Amino acid sequence: MSSSRYIRIFDTTLRDGEQSPGCSMNLAEKLEVAQALADLGVDIIEAGFPIASPGDFESVKQIAGTVRGATICGLARCNEKDIDAAWEALKTAPAARIHVFLATSAIHREFKLRMSPDEIVQRAVTGVRRAAGYCDDVEFSPEDAFRTEPDFLCRVVEAAIDAGATTVNIPDTVGYATPGEIYDRIKLLCQKVPNIDKAVISMHCHDDLGMGVANSLAGVAAGAGQIECTINGIGERAGNAALEEVVMAMKTRGDFYQCETGIDSKRLLPTSRLVSKVTGQAIPRNKAIVGRNAFAHESGIHQDGMLKERSTYEIMSPEEVGFTKTDLVLGKHSGRAALADRAKTLGLTLTGEQLQQVFERFKDLADKKKEIYDGDIIALVQQQISGN
Ligand code: KIV
Ligand code: ZN
């Protein structure tokens, strides 16, 4: 019997991701992305923030009415109007979740909300109760949780669970925490909140210091059962934890995390490219998992190793995430083995001596160009054979 824990993947590409400057999507694009997310196997799709605009309301409503295979979630602040609007947009979904949030840190309480700790607890309880009156799947987020006093965070989380929250999301709203702090805080919640077993703990980590993925995984190691993330890591400011990275980290390092998800990893690349297309945000070449270079090797030593045994330089296979193959890029760092392999793939038969001569011409050309294409190799071989 497997001892793996199931980790829910909550995708917020259409909500937090869309909050990223330059990433807004129209209704048709949101429907296409939502369907792709359901096909990818995400457990929960946060489809939007219904009170934010009539367009957001309509897209949550259409996604709730048409996309099947995942729970559809809508975001709401802790007030009646937001929660009522969220339910109005979600109510046709076979599985719906209302996600209510309220800031809890001293900075937010004092400067943004101007509310006392007691008022915060009361507002959280009232909001969660109202949402629980509409559906039995309610998530509560104490915004800026990691800059909230630990005792107060425990108090709010306990009260939210008593009021009916079935998931408690612990956001690192400003991407400030370190993996060690995340681990300790989640462990503390598990130890100090008496009713914590009645809810799933969720991670929601922003990437301001480049630690969004590491922080999400630290939370999982400490006992969290859900990760909130976005395709390509898009989101407010520096973004959110990237879905493709957290999923492949748990899959590739199953020996360490002992977790599984419902994600069909072969769909990661097509989904990433779809989100890139509709948002107009290019995927960086060196982006982990889905970047063009993620499975590309240029140096001669690496290419030689790869041709002998893939696991020398690949910890995952490109096919696992949706690429068709490893890319042995020919450039000035490449060696004879990769050139011979490419020539063979192109149907070009060379003697040892011919290969050596083509290789010398290839190195001269590679010093002048960033990348050598198949057409260049064919031309070099033809020149060699014809003696030019
Ligand atoms: O970053 C954040 O705190 C949020 C909440 C709404 C969960 O996006
Ligand atoms: Zn966020």
* ipTM of the complex, rounded to two decimals: 0.99
Contact present, 187 and 153 (Cβ < 8 Å): no
Q: Average of pLDDT values for 183-204?
A: 98
Tokens of residue 292, six digits:
């063009």
Query: Whole-angstrom Cα distance, residue 217 to residue 211?
Result: 10
**Averaged pLDDT of the chain:** 97
In short, whether 140's Cβ falls inside 6 Å of ligand 1 is: no
Q: Which residues pair with 6 in a beta bridge?
A: 260
pLDDT tier, 2 (very low <50, low <70, confident <90, very high otherwise): low
Nearest to 147 by CA among 183, 112, 167, 175: 175
In short, whether 16's Cβ falls inside 6 Å of ligand 1 is: yes
Pick the ligand that lies closest to the CA of residue 171: 1
Question: Strands 44-48 and 8-11: what pairing?
Answer: parallel
Chain CA centroid to CA 283, Å: 13
Q: With a cut of 90, say whether residue 388 has pLDDT above it.
A: no
What single-letter DSSP state applies at residue 267?
Answer: G
For 228, the enclosing helix (H) or strand (E) is strand 226-229
In short, whether 171's Cβ falls inside 6 Å of ligand 1 is: yes
**Protein residue closest via CA to atom 8 of ligand 1:** 16
Question: Strands 44-48 and 71-77: what pairing?
Answer: parallel
Contact present, 199 and 233 (Cβ < 8 Å): no
Q: Average of pLDDT values for 279-308?
A: 96
Work out the burial of residue 349: count CB atoms within 10 Å of its CB; fewer than 13 is exposed, 13-18 middle, 19 or more buried. exposed
Work out the burial of residue 89: count CB atoms within 10 Å of its CB; fewer than 13 is exposed, 13-18 middle, 19 or more buried. buried
How big, in percent rounded to 5, are the helix, strand and coil portions of the chain? 50, 15, 30
Q: What is the pTM of this model?
A: 0.95
pLDDT at 387: 78
Reading phi first (left if > 0) and then psi (alpha if -120 to 50, else beta), residue 385 is in: alpha
Share of the chain above pLDDT 70, in %: 99
Nearest to 384 by CA among 354, 353, 345, 360: 354
Q: Average of pLDDT values for 253-270?
A: 98
Distance 136 CA to ligand 2 centre (A): 23
Q: Average of pLDDT values for 197-201?
A: 98
pLDDT at 1: 47
Among 204, 208, 229, 236, residue to substitute to test ligand 1 (most atoms within 8 Å of Cβ): 204
Among 101, 140, 147, residue to substitute to test ligand 1 (most atoms within 8 Å of Cβ): 101
What single-letter DSSP state applies at residue 133?
Answer: H
Rounded to 5 degrees, φ, ψ at 10 are: -105, 110
- What's the pLDDT tens digit per position in 303-312? 999 999 999 9
- Backbone CA torsion sign across 292, 345, 338, 320: positive
Report the amino acid identity of residue 253: R
- Backbone CA torsion sign across 368, 371, 376, 377: positive
Distance 210 CA to ligand 2 centre (A): 14
Contact present, 212 and 173 (Cβ < 8 Å): no
In short, whether 101's Cβ falls inside 6 Å of ligand 1 is: yes
